[in-house]
Structure 1
Amino acid sequence: MRKLIGAAFVSLDGVMQAPGGPGEDPDGGFAFGGWTAPFWTEDADPFMGVFGKTETEPFDLLLGRKTYDIFAGYWPVHQEHPIGPLFNRVTKYVATSSPDTLEWVNSVGLTGDVPARVAELKQGDGPDLLTQGSSVLLHALLAHDLIDELRLMVFPLVLGGGKRWFDGLSKPGGFVLEKSETTSSGVISTLYRRAGEVKTGTVGEG
């Protein structure tokens, strides 16, 4: 069985929109594209460490169509960074209504009931599935309780508006913090694993 890992850069108020650059995703008039850039330091690599997956930890990508198009327009021509050849090589599963327009090598379209298709993928053999960006897809995965692990890099700023990691429709559940690291620029990398149902009680009792 394959594990599904939800990974993202998020602000303190949960915004995940356009972390990489000004023109990445201006939907809704979002004015802060590239908000993660000032925080990248020698001890904060956006693709490694707690957040990332490396060649020693195999994975396939699971992407929404908008994120796929952003990646497909960038990584195939940026082979100088190690992530370029890696993203080219792995299988990229894409939630899309137009699978015939996926031109990036090793791309596979997921159509129809995407959560059901993802559930089938998880039951099969192969490397873990890793999301990047893809807020609409993530909301569907969280609503269907398909994510086994969260890898979030939390940045010390508030953006006020934009596409958020959680949309209020996520299925309730518990997680256990497996690991966390803080960079010199104040970014907190966290790794959470799914841990059953939400537990409740009265503070101060028991």
Structure 2
Amino acid sequence: MSRLIVSMQVSIDGFVDSEVPGSAWQLWNWGPEWPWSGDLRAAFNGLLAEASGLVLSRPMADEGYLGHWGRMAQAHPDDPDWEFSRAISRLPVFVVSRTGRPEREWPRTTVLNGELADTVAQAKKQAEGDLVCFGGAGLVSALLREDLVDELRLFVNPGFAGAGATVFGPQLTDRRYRAARSTAFECGVVETRWVR
């Protein structure tokens, strides 16, 4: 049975971005300099190796997520550390949208409109395997609120955001996840995995 896995970087204080100017909560901001240690790179590559598809919000797709990782895949064609970028470039992508079809198309992408539970069910059926969702924050918050997340994989960075967006809130206080695994990596990031 297909599962929906949410994977996000978060700060120690639980934010997924920072409103504080100059905040350095995030060890890696997805740029070309990649300070993650080899053990974390391998774990992240493993996450994508097991996926059958990706789920993104329309804003993430509009902001160039797929194009960015496509360029990274081309820049590192034979580097095993960057296998995840090649996976992003070949996996089917499901964009969840409330506003109909976008003006532009993205490669290997299906835009799903409608109620969130229905669109997630459609994506699971089409992917025939586990889906990985990287966000954004609004989509992940809605997925959690509607109890559609089968596994949370949080990459907790060794810094504090201070203030910013979070995917958690009081609407989740009646939910429980079971701890599946926690791994501390050499660079200071801790991956926590929580399942329903």
CA contact (8 A) 1:93 1:110 kept: yes
In the superposition, the TM-score normalised over structure 2's length comes to 0.79
Q: Where has structure 1 moved over 4 Å in runs of 4 or more?
A: 28-31
Match of 1:159 among 146, 158, 161: 161
Query: For residues 27-176 of structure 1, what are the structure 2 equivalents within 5 Å?
Result: 31-32=22-23, 35-37=26-28, 40-45=36-41, 48-49=42-43, 52-55=46-49, 57-68=50-61, 69-79=63-73, 80=76, 81-96=82-97, 97-122=99-124, 126-170=128-172, 172-176=174-178
- Counterpart Cα distance in 2 of 1:73 and 1:125: 21
Asked whether the 8 Å contact 1:176–1:192 carries over to 2, the reply is yes
| CA drift at 1:70 | 3.1
For 1:197, the equivalent position in structure 2 comes to: none
Q: Secondary structure at the match of 1:165?
A: coil
Gaps of 5+ in 1: 19-27, 195-206
Contact 2:36 2:187 in 1 (8 A): yes
- Can you list the C-alpha shifts for 1:83-112, whole angstroms capped at 9, x where unaligned? 232112111111222424353211111223
Local SS of the residue matching 2:64: helix
CA distance in 2, matches of 1:52, 1:168: 32
Unaligned segments of structure 2, at least 5 residues:
29-33, 77-81
Alignment TM-score, normalising by the size of structure 1:
0.76
Match of 2:79 in 1: none
Whole-Å Cα distance in 2 between the matches of residues 187 and 67 of structure 1?
A: 24
Select the structure with the greater relative contact order (CA < 8 A; seq sep ≥ 6). Answer: 2
Residues 125 and 71 (structure 1), Cα distance of their counterparts in 2 relative to 1, 3 Å cut: closer
More helix, by proportion: 2
Counterpart code for 2:86: P
Q: Write the letter of the residue equivalent to 1:93.
A: F
Give 1:33 shift: 7.3
Q: State whether residues 94 and 109 of structure 1, in contact with CA within 8 Å, keep that contact through their aligned partners in structure 2.
A: yes
Of residues 132-141 and 32-41 in structure 1, the stretch that sits farther from structure 2 once superposed is 32-41
Look at both structures and tell me which one has the larger radius of gyration over its CA atoms: 1
Counterpart-to-counterpart distance in 2, 1:95 and 1:140: 11
Which stretch has the larger CA shift, 2-11 or 116-125? 116-125
State the identity as a percent. Answer: 27
Q: Pairwise CA RMSD of aligned residues? A: 2.6
Q: How many residues align?
A: 182
Listed one character per residue, the Cα deviations across residues 38-73 of structure 1 (whole Å, up to 9, x for unaligned) are: 85223322xx41785143x23210111222233123
